[in-house]
Amino acid sequence: MNNTSRSILVFTFLALIFPGLSLSGEQLNKDSLEKLIKGNSAEGKKITWNTTYKMYFDPSGKFSRIDSLNNKEGGEWKVENDGTLVMSGRKEKRRTVSQRSDGGYDVHNRAGDVIWTMDKITSGNPYNLVPE
């Protein structure tokens, strides 16, 4: 089996298991995004601040984040029907999320720029981040 055939086979397999996830950089839909983050923790990079962060998405709809500069933020999160991630902390922010080819995720602002990444998703709250 050549590399192209193998890639098509892997993509087809993943598409069958995770029907809402896209390997082509398309925006995740509501169900896929909720399944990805609800009750889970994300780690990644905040591009605009050149920092790393850890964040917990509590199933209650609250989140807690801490970055490598020890800045903390908490608030509420929800996913709208069109797959938009809405986070209300200091102010409301609307984001879209797409999957990268390496298995990580990019979080985009309204202009479509990648502003932070989710490079690792962990089940539960291993960092004991307390939602506010």
The share of the chain scoring above pLDDT 90, in percent, equals: 75
With a CB cutoff of 8 Å and minimum separation 6, the contacts of 58 are 39, 64, 125, 131
Encoding tokens for residue 79? 């996913």
Q: What is the pLDDT of residues 15-63, one digit of tens each?
A: 444 433 333 478 999 999 999 999 999 999 999 889 999 999 999 999 9
Work out the pLDDT band at 12, boundaries 50, 70, 90.
Answer: very low
Mean pLDDT of the chain: 85
Domains of the chain (ranges; CATH) run 22-123 (2.40.128.640)
| Residue 1 pLDDT | 59
The 3-class SS string of the chain reads CCHHHHHHHHHHHHHHHCCCCCCCCCECCHHHHHHHHCCEEEEEEEHHHCEEEEEEECCCCEEEEEECCCCEEEEEEEECCCCCEEEECCCEEEEEEEECCCCCEEEECCCCCEEEEECEEEECCCCCCCCC
| Residue 26 pLDDT | 87
CA distances to 4, 8, 68, 112 from 1, in Å? 8, 11, 44, 37
| Residue 78 pLDDT | 98
Query: What's this model's pTM, rounded to 2 decimal places?
Result: 0.79
